[in-house]
Structures are given as structure tokens and as C-alpha cells.
Structure 1
Amino acid sequence: MSDMGELVVARHASRVNKIGSIQNLPVNLFGSVMGISGLALAWRLSHTVFGTPNILSDICGWIAIVAFIVLVFCYAMKAIRYPAKVASEFAHPILGNFFGTIAVSLLLLSTVIGSYSSVLSETIWILGAIFTFILAFLILSRVLKGSLVPSNVVPAWLIPGVATLDIAVAGGTMPFEWTNEINILSMAIGGFVALVFFGLIISRLIHHEPMPAALTPSLMILIAPFEVGFLGYTNYVQKIDPFASILFYFGLFMFLVLLSKVFRKSVPFGPTWWALSFPIAALVNAALKYAIYMDSWIMDAIAIILLAFLTFVICYLFIRTLMIVFNGKLLGGV
């Protein structure tokens, strides 16, 4: 019996070793929750625009919720067992910005959950907003210390700034008396921080060496300030004016410019690929909202093509991520 017990333990240990250690769980994997939540909201809006089945939005929404719960549990375990790893990740000039993906995930999930429970939605939005403001303060304070290496100025810098813009995106339907001021505060912070950082990142991409291949998918984050800004601004003013149109069309233009630069066979697959999912989701949601405003078959066609493209990308990323989880490349530190 002892031999049999030792064999079972050995097999279990071998299976665990094959999958890897929780200490290697990257915080940027929360980008998957952002992307899937964005897809859920896109299909929900598509129901309004084109009458597509609501079940597609519900399926994506529940996958996003489950993914967030699993990731929070796993990352909490990492923080408890390997606090130095988490501290090192947060202090990193590039990886630290990906903690913004947790904040954005909370804000987006507050909107996803809004269809099921208004109280839970409002609670999550408040928690997400508080976490977002704190994170934006800490990240910006760190940047202003100076002596930063130019090569560390990458699109991921935009995530904390875009996170504050998402407060207004998710807060458009919140019933509190102070919601209006919180939304405009978030747009003020997110808008100007994103504007400054966007200029710094473009300058770095032009004047310095190319980014590492693994960070190439994060280039798509460059469209996020414009499309998320469009969504937040139109939620606030309750209309689409020329300024909103400028935001939307420039984000669409940047997407077309970056498309061939990001989707290349030479770029290795990894968790950083999820960085492109939410910016594209923001573009799709903006396109669907703009299609309602334009009432044009051309804009309808653009929105449908973008929605189909986003759905394919999310499905592909989801399957590839499961593959690297079970072959040990994700948590194995490969």
C-alpha cells in the first residue's frame, strides 16, 4: 500500500511540475478578462443594433466572470506564497503597468453584471473606481521620479491612464448623485495622462530601438485612449458630436496602421497577446455605437466586420492560452 501511495504522490507531483508553479502567473493575464468582457459588451450592443441573440453576450459575460474569479484566486495565492515576486512585478517599469488590467477588469465586469444585479454592479464599480484612482496615482508618481530608461517607455504605460477613462465608460449608468463628478474627474485624469504618454511612446518608437518581439502585441494599446475616450465621452455628454467623431476615426485609423505590425508570424505567442484584445474590443463597441448614430450601411458593415474579427481573435487567444497552460509554458516560466 505504501508503494502504491508513493506512486500516486509521484504522479501528482509530476503533473504539478509539468503545469508549473503559481509564482510564474503573470499579472498581464488579467488582460484576458478585459478582452472577453469587452466582447460580451460588444455582443450585447450588437443585439440592440442588429438583433443578434443575447445568449452570445451572456456566454461571454459568464466566461469573463469565471476567468476573473479564477485569476483573482490564483494571483492571491501567488501574493501570499511569493510576496517578493508580486512586489518585484509591481515595481517593474513595464510589468507594473499591467496591474491596471485588474482595475479595468473590475470596471468592465460591473457593466457585464449590470444585467443581472444592479446592486452588485454598483458595488464592483465603486471598488474598481477606487482601485483605479489609487493605481493611477502610484504609477504616475513613480514615473515623475525621473531617471527612466527610454526603452522602458512602451504602450503598456497607457493602461493605468486608460483605466481611469473606463470609470466613465462603466459609470454612465450609475445612479449616484456624485457619479457625474467622478466621471468627469476620471476623464480629466485619463485624457491628459493618455495624451502625454501617447506622445512619449510615439517618440520612443520613432527614435529608439524596436521593442522586444514579445511586447509587439501591446502596440494595439495605442488605439485604446481614443476608442475608450470616445465611449467615456459619449456616455458623459449623451450624444456623438464632432469631437467624439474625431476620437473614433483616429482610433480606427491607428488600428489599420498597426494591424500588419502586430499580427505577424514572427511574434511568439504569450500572455502579452491579450494586451491587444481590449483595445480592439473598445474599437468594436465604439463602431457599434457609431453605427447607431450614422444609420449607414457602410458603418454597419464596418461594425460587423470588426465584431467578427474580435470574436475570432478572442477565441484564438483563449484556445492558445489553454494550450500553454496545460503544456507548462505559462506557469513553467518558459
Structure 2
Amino acid sequence: MSKPLAIPASFFGMVLGLIGWGNSWRAAHEVWGGPAAVGEALMLAGAFVWAVLLVLFAAKWLAARSEAIGEASHPVQCCFIGLVGVATMLVAIAAHPYSRPVAVSLFAAGSAFTLIFALWRTGILWQGARDPAATTPVLYLPTVAGSYVTAIGLATFGLGDWGRLAFGAGLLSWFAIESVLLHRLYTVAEMPAPLRPVLGIQLAPPTVGAAAYLSITSGPPDMIVYGLIGYGLLQVLVLARLARWIFAAGVTASVWAFTFGLTALSTAMVKLVGRGDAGPISVLAPVVFAFVSIVMGVIVLRTLWLLVRGRLLPAPPALSVTR
């Protein structure tokens, strides 16, 4: 398979990170009066990366079908395919201020893909016969990430009542999957080094959940959103404590697994300030916003360096079991 067609579906995580970062800057513009151009430029960059990856993803299925089917059959890599729909919904949210018809069309396509893929993948998981070693945070992507972003998108288009249903689907899916995942982490042999960066996805359920919750509610902050952010902050500290172990194989493009959760944490905290928080969040929000922007800048520069050096594409996945 040629190199352009070898790009895995996990690269759509870059779109989530870039548009998530743009959303954080949009929130900073609304709450603190930060420069609007920064957020919009990041949204544009995310949309450009999405367009390139979408073409390459489609080309892989047309010209390298066996490799594409192999990715879809892989117990870990397959879940990243769900990011195609999630990324498309985020591009729709980014485009909403500029063209509602275009945004609605993109959101409809992205949400449909997300739902269909989540049902397909969940149906496979419910049939069992799965190797516990293949249980990683990628399991959150089809149902949890997909449902949360669906909720945010529905609220963006004035359908917050429908968004509450999507939020509930994502929240309870998170609770169910996290129990299985933590059991695997506690009781099964440690993950191989190349696979460990997917633990960055562990940050996303509470933080993206907080952003989704804020999108479908109004008024002053409540205990639920504070609880989600508190758990998100705990995940940041745990991941920081494990950073050397997680990146034992080096910092590669897989570091983007951390970006959607990090940017959602920043966005949610900034929006809480805008909703009237005058407590600890108002103190932490500027610090977290600055920290996330610095980390994102480093990740972008690192990714560009890997691209220039020809080291951006990952090695073939090690796990060969199915389901």
C-alpha cells in the first residue's frame, strides 16, 4: 500500500484536537475578549486537515480495500474509524457561523455515520469472545465521543432537547465502558509501549461530557458539571504521573489522543466563567487555558517535525486478534 493510503483513521484525532482548540479560543473570545481570529484560524486548519484525511480515507477503501478492511477488523484500530463521523460533526459546528445549510448538511452526514458505526461496533462487542488485552480507551470513541459531540451539535443547531438524549447515551455508555476498562488495567498485563498513548483518550469522557452538558443547559453552573470537571482534572494528574511510562516508545503522532480531552477541559472551564463561576474554576480557568494552548502548540510543532522527517506514519499495529 502506498504511503498516502497507509494513513490510519486515528489521524482524524488531529481534527478533534485542532477544532477543539479552536472552540477553546472561541470561548475565550466570548468570555475574556480574546482575539477571535485565533479560534477561527484553528477551526480552518482543522477543517483543512479533515478534508485531506477524508479524501485519503475514501481512497484507501477504493484502492487498498484489503488494508482498509484489516483496519476495520482490528480490535483497537477499528474504533478510530468512528472519528470520521465525529470529526465531520465538529467541522459542521465550526462552519455554523458562516453557512448554516453547509453546516447542517455536514452534521447530518457526520451524525448518521457516527450512529451507524457505533451500532455496528457495539453489536460486535456484545457478542463477546474478545481478548481482554484489546480493551483500551478507544472503546469510548464510537458511543461516548460520538454521543457527546452529537449533543453539542444538536444544541448548536437549536435542538437542545434532542441533544439531552444524546448526552444521556454518551454519559451512561462512559460509565459502562469505564468499569470494563479499569478492570482490564487493574488485572491484565500492562499495555505494550506503542499502545499506551491511547490512554490519553481516558481524559475525554469527563471533559467532553462537561462541554456537552454546558451546551444543553443554561443558567449558573451546577454540581453535575463541577463533578465532571473535577474528575477530568484528576485524569490530567494521573496521566501526568504516568507520562514517562505512557511515552516509553517515544512521542509520536499518537500524542493527539490527549488533545480532544485537554481542549474540552479548557473550553468547559472558560465557559463556566462565562456562566458566572467566581470560585476555584475562575482561578484555574486562565491557567488551564494557557497550559492547554502551550501543550497544543508543542504537539503541532512535534507533528510537523515528524512529517518533515518522514516519521509521522505509525508502525503496523501489533494486535492481530479480531473483535
Give the TM-score normalised by the residue count of structure 1. 0.87
Distance 2:177 2:279 in 1: 36
Q: Which residue of 1 aligns with 2:203?
A: 223
Q: Which residue of 1 aligns with 2:4?
A: 22
**Superposed counterparts of 1:1-334, under 5 Å:** 21-161=3-143, 162-175=145-158, 179-180=159-160, 182-239=162-219, 240-262=221-243, 266-296=248-278, 298-331=280-313, 333=315
Distance 1:331 1:220 in 2: 19
- Letter aligned with residue 156 of structure 2: T
Identity over aligned residues, as a percent? 25
- Letter aligned with residue 128 of structure 1: G
Distance 1:254 1:303 in 2: 16
Q: Which residue of 1 aligns with 2:321?
A: none
- Letter aligned with residue 227 of structure 1: T
Give the number of the structure with larger relative contact order, counting CA–CA contacts within 8 Å between residues 6 or more apart. Answer: 1
Following superposition, the deviation at residue 168 of structure 1 comes to 0.6
Alignment size in residue pairs: 313
- Letter aligned with residue 186 of structure 2: I
- Letter aligned with residue 60 of structure 1: L
Q: Which runs of 5+ in 2 are unaligned?
A: 317-323
> Residue deviations 1:72-109, cap 9 Å, x none?
11222222110111111011111011112222211211
Distance 1:184 1:50 in 2: 28
| Residues 203, 258 of structure 2: 8 Å contact kept | no
Following superposition, the deviation at residue 54 of structure 1 comes to 0.4
Following superposition, the deviation at residue 55 of structure 1 comes to 0.9
- Letter aligned with residue 238 of structure 2: V
Q: Which moved more, 1:78-87 or 1:210-219?
A: 210-219
Q: Which has the larger radius of gyration?
A: 1
Distance 1:61 1:263 in 2: 31
- Letter aligned with residue 147 of structure 1: A
| Residues 281, 310 of structure 1: 8 Å contact kept | yes
Structure 1 residues 286, 180: CA separation in 2 closer, same or farther (over 3 Å shift)? closer
- Letter aligned with residue 142 of structure 1: I
> Residue deviations 1:1-35, cap 9 Å, x none?
xxxxxxxxxxxxxxxx9xx6223211101100000
Q: Any idea what SS the aligned residue of 1:194 has?
A: helix
Q: Which residue of 2 aligns with 1:8?
A: none
Q: Which runs of 5+ in 1 are unaligned?
A: 1-16
Distance 1:295 1:187 in 2: 23
* Alignment RMSD (CA, Å): 2.1
- Letter aligned with residue 247 of structure 1: L
- Letter aligned with residue 63 of structure 2: R
Q: Which moved more, 1:245-254 or 1:138-147?
A: 245-254
Q: Which residue of 2 aligns with 1:7?
A: none
Following superposition, the deviation at residue 170 of structure 1 comes to 2.0
Distance 1:171 1:226 in 2: 19
Following superposition, the deviation at residue 185 of structure 1 comes to 3.0
Structure 1 residues 333, 211: CA separation in 2 closer, same or farther (over 3 Å shift)? closer
